Structure 1
Amino acid sequence: MSDQDSSTSASHTEGEVEGEMDEELDGDGNGDEVRRDSPVPSFSSFSSSLHAVVRIKQKYLAMKKKRQEMAALQALGGDGSFSGAPRKTSPKIFTFDGLTPFSSTLSSSSSSSVPLKKKRRRKKGVLYPNRGRRRAPPKQEQSRAKYCLYLLCAIVFVQVYNAIENLDDHVLRYDLEGLEKTLRREVFGQQGAVDGLLAHLRDYLSTYVHNKPLVVSLHGPSGVGKSHLGRLLAAHFRSVVGESLVLQYYVLHRCPLEADAPRCAHDLAALVSETAERAEEEEKIPLFVFDEAEHMHGEILDALLRLVAAERSNAHLNAVYLLLSNLGHAHVTKHTLHNSSSVPAVEELAPILRDTLKKLHPLWAEADVLPLGLLEKSQVMECFLEEMTREGFYPDHANIEQLAGELEYYPEVGGHEYAKTGCKQVVAKVNLL
């Protein structure tokens, strides 16, 4: 029921109560008039009127109390009707104009008191048509590119493995293990130089493609084994790459006169180029040995520098150059006499000797310098033993010691006695036997 209907019913009820009171009062008034018309009232009539007044007052107080209760009920939202009294109804027309929907009232009251939480929308699952049972979701197909990736990894692995095998095959072609055994057996007292030479060869010969040739320069006093080491290295390369790919160049034999230096330089460049091209066709690395390099003229050194330093064709980059010289022998002799071991002398003397040689010609700036130290008396005796065995003489120790004592030596230093000429006179002494 709306507020308008409740107020209307309340006003009707108040009007009815007031009407009843007026009727009673009128009735009482009429009675009073009748009684006025009557002669002098008696005591009984006075008491009856007093009772009527009391009854009217009680009735008024009761009606007033009901009014207050009805007002209180209206304030609390009641319908304003008296309890026990017959309710008067009036025809009403039901419309939705003055009504407020319960849901909107509830939402407004809840929004004013408690903030609404955002409802998370649930993602609906994929629905499949019913054909007796639910279908399983489709499986994700694997990309075919994965198999191509596996194939590529396998190819790379095979290529790397073959490259490693080819490196081993390339090193085995030059038989560096056999060369090492030969040098350690026949070269005496030059352990540091032999180790350095083998290390350079092993690194360079492990592959065929290079960006520059290998240039190694051996320096030391006369008789320490430079030429002997060069002959051993040339003989080994002849056995593995062939005679045509090994060149031994003796300057005093090929070009003794300085006036012939330009021609010799031109011929040397042509010979080296021809040998390098032949090695390129056979896929091998040639060896060029230049003995007595201290006698090379400037034009020949310049020609060698152009061959080893200039960026020429690939045929000139795959080659091994070995320079044998006694340049800087004074530094080697001085340094060896001031050190008790020849092994540290090689490590300490190589940078000093290279700086000295670069001042003589830029060719040695492109080379790896390896110094050969002086030989001790015991090492010279080994040279006599080797030569006597080769010539067929009985290796008598007393005879060997006597021959070794005939050579000249430096003053003893730190318990070591170094020969001035090394093993250079060994062959001549043995031939006199």
Structure 2
Amino acid sequence: MSDQDSSSQTEGEMDEEVDGKGDRDETLRDSPVLSLSSFSSSLHAVVRIKQKYRAMKKRRQEMAPLGRGADGDPAGAPSKTSPKIFTFDGLTPFSSTLSSSSVPQKKKRRRKGVLYPNRGRRRAPPKQEQSRAKYCLYLLFAIVFVQVYNAIENLDDHVLRYDLEGLEKTLRREVFGQQGAVDGLLSHLKDYLSTYVHNKPLVVSLHGPSGVGKSHLGRLLAGHFRSMVGETLVLQYYVLHHCPQEADAARCARDLAALISEMLKRAEEEEKIPLFVFDEAEHMHGEILDVLLQLVASKQSNEYLNAVYLLLSNLGHARVTKHMLHNSSSISTSKLVEELTPILRNSLEKLHPLWTEADVLPLGLLEKSHVMECFLDEMTREGFYPDHTNIERLAGEVGYYPEVGGHEYSKTGCKQVVAKVNLL
């Protein structure tokens, strides 16, 4: 008999015995008194069942190395279901080893995603709703950009009206040895003329020794503004010419205030910025300085705030000369403006409060090479042939300070150039 037949026969016998036991239990339960013989037969049945179960278990252990299941089936085949029978044996080590080795374990995969606390399943992150206010914000950015762009274009148009690029080329071509002062003056003009709305007028005060180009720079600036804003909005005021007598200082101050107010009102109507040039400011009387201070510091109306005042004087020339002669070895054009500006400001503010409202720019001494450039320019204007030998001879006739630090500074600058060229 094969193993399969034996196993099936055993299962049949077990079923019959179980059924018999059930019938006897029912009979015993129905009878009022339990006999000793019926109890011993039940005990014998339980012992036989246990012995048969151990025999089946032993056969399963013998068949396991041969690669067959407990029911004679190949390993891995689905096992037949049978009724579970109560036993007193616990789980043996072999059964636990068999279950762990025969059943393939799945590889645990690491869960990806957001795991929320106290939740066992994965949830998708909440979708962020797009706010409609974002589009309004984009529209606001576009409007601000257009406004800023239009404002920049308007600033450029306002600067182009005064042609500051042309003014810069003219000053650099015709003003010699004063690049620091020219750069400072152009910087102030560009900042001020870039818009028409101001909180105060622009006041620039140029100071330096005689013959260094103060009056020449004022004439160039006045001529450029005449061509830009018109003749009526430019004033060149020479104190020794317009008010030579000190007794007439009060009248001159009233006339000057009325003239400036009239020009400011005309400039306000035409939306232009006028220019006022005051040469030889060191000879100005106290009454005129007081009137200018009132006009500069006035908060009456807008026309008094939109104006450019240029003061030219030789106040503080001794400090400029002394500083350049003592620092000629390490001095440069840019350092000259930085070092002399606070020195001049302290001395000028003690003279009159007008200079507290002004931007001070110093002009330094001219070297011999600068004087030769002045001769060359003047001779070209007068139609003379620019002979280098003749120019050097004329420049040698000008007085100079003793050479210091490799520099030879002129005592009178280019002041005698015109007179010497006229003698040719």
Question: Is TM more than 0.5 here?
Answer: yes
Residue 348 of structure 2, aligned match among 346, 357, 368: 357
**Do structure 1's residue 153 and structure 2's residue 141 form an aligned pair?**
yes
State the distance in 2 between where 1:345 and 1:146 align.
Answer: 55
Please say if 1:85 is aligned against 2:37. no
Correspondence for 1:339 among 327, 332, 338: 327
Matching residue within 346, 357, 366 for 1:366: 357
Aligned to 2:166: 178
C-alpha deviation, 1:153, in angstroms: 3.3
| 1:413 aligned residue | 404
**Matches of 1:171 and 1:339 in 2, distance apart?**
38
Pairwise CA distance, 1:171: 1.1
Which residue of structure 2 lines up, in the alignment, with residue 283 of structure 1?
Answer: 271
- Partners of 2:178 and 2:224 in 1: CA distance: 19
| Cα distance in 1 between the residues matched to 2:414 and 2:130 | 80
Provide the secondary structure at the position in 1 that maps to 2:177: coil
1:210 to 191, 198, 211: 198
3-state DSSP of counterpart to 2:210: coil
- Matched with 1:169 is 157
Query: Is contact 2:239–2:278 with CA below 8 Å preserved after alignment?
Result: yes
Q: Residue in 1 aligned with 2:383?
A: 392
SS of the residue aligned with 1:236? Answer: helix
What SS does the aligned partner of 1:218 have?
Answer: strand
C-alpha contact (below 8 Å) 2:298/2:304 kept by paired residues: no
Shift of 1:84: 4.1
The equivalent residue for 2:236 is: 248
- 2:401/2:410 contact within 8 Å kept: yes
Q: List aligned pairs for 1:47-66, cutoff 5 A.
A: none
Give the aligned partner of residue 270 of structure 1. 258
Aligned residues: 301
Distance (Å, rounded) in 2 between the aligned partners of 1:304 and 1:245: 17
Return 5+ residue gaps in structure 2 as ranges: 1-28, 34-117, 119-128
1:229 aligns with 2:217: yes
Q: What SS does the aligned partner of 1:223 have?
A: coil
Q: Unaligned stretches of 5+ in structure 1?
A: 1-81, 87-119, 121-139
2:136 and 2:408 mapped to 1: Cα distance? Answer: 71
Q: Distance in 1 between matches of 2:260 and 2:280?
A: 18
- SS of 1:155's equivalent? helix
Aligned to 2:417: 426
CA deviation string 1:54-87 (max 9, x = no partner): xxxxxxxxxxxxxxxxxxxxxxxxxxxx99438x
Q: TM-score, normalised by structure 2?
A: 0.68
1: CA distance, partners of 2:320 / 2:306: 31
Q: How does 1:85-124 map to 2 (within 5 A)?
A: 85=32
1:409–1:420 contact (8 Å) kept in structure 2: yes
Percent of paired sites with the same residue: 84
Other-structure match for 1:199: 187
Structure 1 residue 148: Cα displacement = 5.1
Q: Which has the larger radius of gyration?
A: 1
Please give the TM-score of this superposition, normalised by the length of structure 1: 0.67
Runs of 4+ in 1 over 6 A off after TM superposition: none
Q: SS where residue 322 of structure 1 aligns?
A: strand
